[in-house]
Structure 1
Amino acid sequence: MNTADMLLMDDFIDYLEHNIIQTEKHYIARETNKLLLVSTRITRCKTLLNVCQQSMLRNPIAFIHSEEFLSVPPEYVRELLEFDTLGLDEESIFDAIIKWGVYNTRDLDMVDVIDHVKNWSVDQFDALRSTIKDFIPLIRFFKMDSCYFNEKFGPYKLLLDDDLYNHIIQYHKNPNSFPLHKFYPLRLNSTLISEFHISVISSWIEIPEDQREQYSPPPIIEMIQDYNLNSLPFEFDLIFRSQGKRISDGLWCQKVHNQGPTLTIIKTSNQGLFGGYKSASWKEKKITKGKHNKIKKIECVDGGDGFIFQWLDDHSFDDDKIICPKLQWINKHLDFDMFLGGSKMSLDFRYGKGLSVFNRESRHDKCEKGLMYTIEEVEIFRVLKRNS
């Protein structure tokens, strides 16, 4: 395809692109990074670029760690940084930009320079800064983890203007302060859901309890006109991700307990997405033991209210393929870890890689009583109310 592009064989390029998309789906999945690089270099391959991009967004960490990422043109790097939904934390994004910049800056050696960043010369910093200057405004430094910024970013401060760097430092010391510089909101770090999903879910969270019956399933999602994360009343901060592995109790307690309201997204291998919103924290229950170490009392914890849902969607980043979800309001979540719902309908993912779906009210619902689905990935977000 590259050779055909150099020889200006436009019709042949169009034929190859169409053939790959229509007949080589497994090849695209296996060689996403290579095809993505090729399609970023050939302006005619916009359709192939879009297909490869959708595949890449399901595992972006593999792409930014690949050799192909280092060779993508700067225009595409900038396009990625403008995404509000990207399944990466800001620290990983910044590290990737540094590697891309070093690789694409003359006289900077990849291994020697990155391994000895504290010994860089002013000229080396100036050279790198010139390479990535258009990317710096798109990196969300204000949304980085404070520990990361304070402990690891220091050597790179020469890449920023003194004024901007000082404001970021002050913001991380006092996150409640208002940054003087324009900054982007928290990027949606998800490989499972898009801006469209999160816009719909935000609208559900906002519905007052006394009005929920007006939005009984199936909910009307056509009323969502604005999918821009900037306009949403909430931010969704990823606190936990598990890819096809059993979730240990210790890791769950460490990452998920006492985080306030949360949104859980569960991707299954055959039925799209399941999930739920919980208005109260998951918390560790206090257990009182009596004689012979027998449990005497288990403290009840407020599970909060919210909802659970099933979203029949095999194309998370393609809004045209989204099917209207099934929604069930929950007046009170039962207070179990890795469990959403009440006594009548629930999602239970305490059993390793399996998701148990119970619906004790309807025999005709697709979420039938006792169905078990295979979990591919779980994402849990802390839901933060934005300051007005």
Structure 2
Amino acid sequence: MINNNLLPKLSQNLLEILNDEEYYDIIIEVGNDPYVKVFRAHMVILNYRSPYLRRILSTNKKKNDGTLTYIKLPNILPEIFQIVLRYIYGGKISLEEYDILDIVKVMVAANELSLQELIPYLESFLIENKTNWVEQNFDLIYQISLENDSFSELQKYFWEYVIRWGLAKNPELPSDPTSFSKDDFNTLKKTLQQCIPFIRFRNLSSKEFLKGVKPYKKILPKELYNDLLEYFLDNDSKKSIPRIIKEDKAICSKNIDSKIITLQHAELISKWIDKLEITDKLITLYEFKLLYRDSHDGPSKLNFAKFQEICKNQYRTVIVIKVKDSNVVIGGYNPIEWKFDGSHGVTKDSFIFSFSNNSIEDYILSRVINEKRAIYNGNLHVVAFNSDLLLCIDNGVSVGSIKNSYEKKIRIDSSLTEEFEVFQIV
């Protein structure tokens, strides 16, 4: 017999452990100077509640000499971490107690700490209870969604909102798309043409696609709609439950247009994007859409102007590189747009990686630790994940790596390349 009436007492006891000043074994420094706060916690609870903290703690093994484990979380505000830490221990959160913007910050922190069960709960609360605020602050919420791949419920909601916004901009249009004329579709298409590339349609279920997208198919680029139609037809049984995909079947039904990486590499990179452990079930099998390829046996014909033309303003890109005369593949994921204006791109979700010996098991994953210098938008033949993965593009591609803004160094120092590919993650 399961008695849920006993759970509040368990939650209360676990929160008492959090407040205990005797048995803690971890010190967590949260925030950036001058606003930093220190929290005490317990390794066993953090290890089993947060995959992100488990990964950090695995590199800081507890010592038997009584020394406390010390970790830093500079990307989270102390007052937000206080809320999240109480959730980690007590398993509950009273959202009505908090400002809406703080709830959004909690959602971002939950994403960083890989608290995947909390994210859809917070998304649903915002969509169902704070709709007016979300729509009044659409630009903010949309940008946060672009930078955080796990916010699938908000990403679904955006399509509904974009349609409503487009209709509001054109009040002469009928509210029912079945009553649209050809000119009506063209009017709405023109209004929404800048929005559509940023909608993540593949986060929808087949039912949601059929009901919400298909009636507006004439405002979508024909190639995009055909790709989506094929995708949802091929994945109907799996997509009826959003974001739960059996890895073996999904891989068999997908292809990747790459001379460098395989489907198994793509699967692992997808897990890294979603901040999953390699043993976790794959949440989203992303499509790796090839934007650019440079293959050569002799001197490369790649030039920076061409690379700029294709990749400028593209979000959510993965660069993969085959290092010349070696069995090493290196690369990086950039969730924000490439600008090529000499600026630094700010994100906490980028990472760089390397594979060796043609094996997905022999890899190095290095996540960003200095988000303010995660990406360098070079304008003089250089693009970079700071100095940690530096690409010099000028009649060829050379790469280098000096540890700076990412957790660890990947395998190379300075090398030429054999193959160079850029994918957009959709």
Shared fold (TM-score, shorter chain, > 0.5): no
Taking structure 2 as the reference length, the TM-score comes to: 0.36
Taking structure 1 as the reference length, the TM-score comes to: 0.39
Query: Higher relative contact order by CA 8 Å / sep ≥ 6: 1 or 2?
Result: 1
